Amino acid sequence: MKRLLITAASVLALTATPAFAQDMVVTNARLVIGDGGAPIEGGVVIVDDGKVVFAGVPTPGQTFSTDTVIDAGGAWVTPGLFATVTTLGLADVSAVDESNDITARETPFSAALDAATAINPTSQHILVHKAAGITRAATSMVPAGSIFAGQGAIIDLDGDARPVMQARAFQMINLGEGGADRAGGSRAAAHVLLRSALREAQALVGKPGIPETTEIGKDDEVFLSRFDAEALVPVVTGKQKLYVAVERMADIRAVLALKTEYPKLDLVLVGATEGWLVASEIAAAGVPVIANGLNDLPETFEQLGATQSNAGRMAKAGVKVAINAESLQNPRRLQQVAGNLVALTRMPGASGMDWGKAFAAISSVPAEISGMGGKAGVLKPGALGDVVIWTGDPLEVGSVPTRVFIDGREQDLTNHQTRLRDRYIDLDESDRPKAYDW
């Protein structure tokens, strides 16, 4: 490809390497790096070979070469959003059982379940959320037959044949009311199940003095098979993250205490509605939180302390906080939640986040928590070339992407919803029925 020589920007004189993605530069951007900073006026992003090589304000007179120049015309330009935790790709219609791989109530397996094997990259939910500016996501099953959801994956949303960036990126368990219910009816049962499972996993890696059973079950129900125990080996050895869904202050403390018994656990809290009540303890433990963003109702007894200030208060205490997409009506509401966190900064007595930190809570921070720090949710040299150009302030309701790039490749934003929109842009059937309008 013939490269254009551009002045007024960058640091690089690019060599003509064969590009797997079209190289591009976005100029004249209201640029959001995604690292918590404020937007930068007159920003430039350069993507080469699918990776960001520069993002910021160029030094006047510098040159670089590229295939494509996109003048953003002052529009907001951001990294792609990172949605965690989601079920994207695991269901077409969740209420239609046949299309739903989110839960597996009837299986004898639990921790061994691997979401990566079930992901449909052309699910309409993936396509709709790509059009909403989400380019990467952590996706997980939901615990059904046991406290273990199974192993979640990090996916991209480009709809191609390889949606899974990292399979088995994390194990997820529920140690709150839901986990108690699934373990037999009490949190005590859930904790015994977890500990016995972790001990089984330790036994499999030869830790001495630990009994080995064949399986844990009751009546016809299997809580943990040998395959599940094997799947927990990377958890107990700290090679795979353990996401723990809990809401109540006491449950959060119990999760943090697991580290004294299993020091290698790489813990992440999910939900943590009452996290603000123990924010300093979470911060001291260095455990990040994927927090319910705006929940402010005692919808369960484990959420009595629910407040919209939860995320803001934890962040203020030094906790790394991402917003939990799973607690939303749909993940494309992440930007709305972040915007609401900004709104809270204007309310007496409430805690929110400034704009940059709120945006980071749906971009770089969830990426970091997911093990994609520096790669996703941020526009810094070396990061994946996920760039989104928006109609307006991306945290404002109603803002949507005008263009989305994943790995430096421009994405088709067409989906079932846009096709319906285009069909029903009028109701004219004077010549033919709507079915011919496509």
Partner 1 sequence: MFADKSARGRIAVLATLASALALSACATTGGSGETASASASAKSDEKKFAATKAGDPVFASTYKPYPNVATAIRGATVYDGKGGTIQNGVVFMSGGKITAVGGPDTPIPADIAVFDGTGKFVTPGIIDIHSHLGDYPSPGVEAHSDGNEATSPTTPEVWAEHSVWPQDPGFSRALANGGVTALQILPGSANLMGGRSVTLKNVPARTMQGMKFPGAPYSMKMACGENPKRVYGARGRMPSTRMGNLAVNRETWLAAIDYANDPKAKRDLGKETLVGVLKGEILIQNHCYRADEMALVLDMAKEMGYKVAAFHHAVEAYKIGDLLRENDVCSAIWADWYGFKMESYDGILENAAFLQREGACVVIHSDDQNDIQRLNQEAAKAQAAGARVGIDIPDATVIQWLTYNAAKAMGIADMTGSLETGKMADVVLWNGDPLSVYSRPEKVWIDGALMFDAMNPKTRPVSDFELGQPGEGDVK
Treating both helix axes as pointing N-terminal to C-terminal, what angle do 249-261 and 187-204 enclose, rounded to 10 degrees?
20
Chain residues in the site for partner 1 (CB under 8 A): 86-87, 91-96, 100, 102, 124-125, 128, 142, 249, 274, 277, 294-301, 303-309, 325-333, 336, 339-340, 342-343, 346-350, 391, 395-400, 416-417, 420-421, 424-425, 427, 434
Q: Least distance (Å) from partner 1 to the CB of residue 194?
A: 22
Q: Decide whether 188 or 297 has the Cβ nearer to partner 1.
A: 297
Q: Least distance (Å) from partner 1 to the CB of residue 143?
A: 11
Q: Are 245 and 129 in contact (CB under 8 A)?
A: no
Amino acid at position 243, single letter: Y
Q: Least distance (Å) from partner 1 to the CB of residue 179?
A: 15
Q: Decide whether 199 or 333 has the Cβ nearer to partner 1.
A: 333
Q: Least distance (Å) from partner 1 to the CB of residue 378?
A: 23
Q: Least distance (Å) from partner 1 to the CB of residue 288?
A: 21
Q: Decide whether 309 or 411 has the Cβ nearer to partner 1.
A: 309
Q: Decide whether 11 or 343 has the Cβ nearer to partner 1.
A: 343
Q: Are 142 and 108 in contact (CB under 8 A)?
A: no
Q: Decide whether 320 or 333 has the Cβ nearer to partner 1.
A: 333
Q: Decide whether 184 or 305 has the Cβ nearer to partner 1.
A: 305
Q: Least distance (Å) from partner 1 to the CB of residue 398?
A: 3
Q: Decide whether 225 or 399 has the Cβ nearer to partner 1.
A: 399
Where residue 249 falls (left for φ over 0; alpha for ψ -120 to 50; beta otherwise) is alpha
Amino acid at position 150, single letter: G
Q: Least distance (Å) from partner 1 to the CB of residue 49?
A: 33
Q: Least distance (Å) from partner 1 to the CB of residue 268?
A: 19
Q: Decide whether 93 or 257 has the Cβ nearer to partner 1.
A: 93
HEC profile of the chain? CCCEEEECCCCCCCCCCCCCCCCEEEEEEEECCCCCCCCEEEEEEEEECCEEEEEECCCCCCEEEECEEEECCCCEEEECEEEEEECCCCECCCCCHHHECCCCCCCCCCCCCEHHHHCCCCCHHHHHHHCCCEEEEEECCCCCCCCEEEEEEEEECCCCCCCEEEEEEEEEEECCHHHHHHHCCCHHHHHHHHHHHHHHHHHHCCCCCCCCCCCEEECCEEEECHHHHHHCHHHHCCCCEEEEEECCHHHHHHHHHHHHHCCCCEEEEEECCCHHHHHHHHHHHCCCEEECCCCCCCCCHHHCCCCCCHHHHHHHCCCCEEEEHHHCCCHHHHHHHHHHHHHHCCCCCCCCCCHHHHHHCCCHHHHHHCCCCCCCCCCCCCCECCEEEECCCCCCCCCCEEEEEECCEECCCCCHHHHHHHHCCCCCCCCCCHHHCC
Q: Are 36 and 355 in contact (CB under 8 A)?
A: no
Amino acid at position 42, single letter: G
Q: Decide whether 26 or 306 has the Cβ nearer to partner 1.
A: 306
Q: Least distance (Å) from partner 1 to the CB of residue 303?
A: 8
Instruction: For residues 186 and 50, give the distance between their C-alpha atoms in angstroms, rounded to a whole number.
Output: 49
Q: Decide whether 209 or 348 has the Cβ nearer to partner 1.
A: 348
Q: Decide whether 166 or 330 has the Cβ nearer to partner 1.
A: 330
Q: Least distance (Å) from partner 1 to the CB of residue 114?
A: 20
Q: Least distance (Å) from partner 1 to the CB of residue 57?
A: 26
Q: Decide whether 244 or 249 has the Cβ nearer to partner 1.
A: 249
CA distances from 140 to 91, 131, 365 (A): 11, 21, 18
Backbone angles phi, psi at 341, to 5 degrees: -65, -35
Q: Least distance (Å) from partner 1 to the CB of residue 269?
A: 17
